[in-house]
Amino acid sequence: MKKTQNNGFTLIELLVVVAVIGILSTIVIASLSVARNKAKDVAVVAASSSFRTQAELLYPTGNYTGLCTNQAFLNLMDSVQSQGGSLSECEANAQAYRFVFSLPSESALLMTSTAYAAGEDAVCTNSIGKVVKIQANTLQNLSFPSCEFSDPYGTRQTDPYGARW
């Protein structure tokens, strides 16, 4: 009696391996999507922070009149728009400035992540030296050129390099 030797995999073993690979690839692709969205947000924050320094060099006397129409600011707007963000506000006068960009991916992340439960969907930059995430719908409650409001519950994240960034 001749014994046959089976050197291959069964169909069920192959299907299990393909299913496991499919599940793992789905998890990786979803993680990369979230990381890509966060990278776009960070690019907008970095561009805003960088422009704050540039504004101080462009306007050394502290008179920021014309800042919102300056070519460097228009370049910043193009950079932010290329990441998917948009300008919500730009205000400048002889003493101060404030500009606010909406973040590109916050609305999508709000539905899936509790890390963004505060609803912060914009970046506010001002002449005082602040670059913070804010809720765009609270912008009208902030006095110019402030980017922050008083928070009695201590739930505001004001450090641009904190854990939520």
- Structural domain includes residue 107: yes
Q: What is the pLDDT of residue 10?
A: 92
Contact 104, 41 (CB under 8 A): yes
- Structural domain includes residue 160: no
- Structural domain includes residue 3: no
The length of the chain is 165
For residue range 136-159, what is the model confidence (pLDDT) as tens digits?
777 777 788 888 764 444 444 444
For residue range 11-24, what is the model confidence (pLDDT) as tens digits?
999 999 999 999 99
Given pLDDT bands bounded at 50, 70 and 90, which one contains residue 6?
A: confident
- Structural domain includes residue 4: no
Q: Which residues touch 136 (CB under 8 Å, ≥6 apart)? A: 88, 100, 102, 121, 122
- Structural domain includes residue 147: no
- Structural domain includes residue 161: no
In angstroms, rounded to a whole number, what is the distance separating the alpha carbons of residues 161 and 148? 16
**Residue-range definition of the domain harbouring residue 81:** 12-141
- Structural domain includes residue 156: no
In angstroms, rounded to a whole number, what is the distance separating the alpha carbons of residues 18 and 3? 30
Q: What is the pLDDT of residue 114?
A: 35
Across-strand partners of 89? 100
For the chain, how many structural domains are there in total? 1
Across-strand partners of 133? 123
Q: Is the pLDDT of residue 86 over 70?
A: yes
Q: Is the pLDDT of residue 164 over 60?
A: no
Q: What is the pLDDT of residue 22?
A: 96
Lowest mean pLDDT segment, chosen from 2-6, 14-18, 76-80: 2-6
- Kindly state the average pLDDT of the residues 73-91: 87
In angstroms, rounded to a whole number, what is the distance separating the alpha carbons of residues 33 and 18? 23
For residue range 117-134, what is the model confidence (pLDDT) as tens digits?
345 688 888 888 788 888
In angstroms, rounded to a whole number, what is the distance separating the alpha carbons of residues 20 and 12? 12
Percent of the chain with pLDDT over 90: 12
Whole-model pTM: value is: 0.65
- Structural domain includes residue 2: no
Tell me the H-state helices in the chain.
Answer: 11-58, 71-82, 106-112
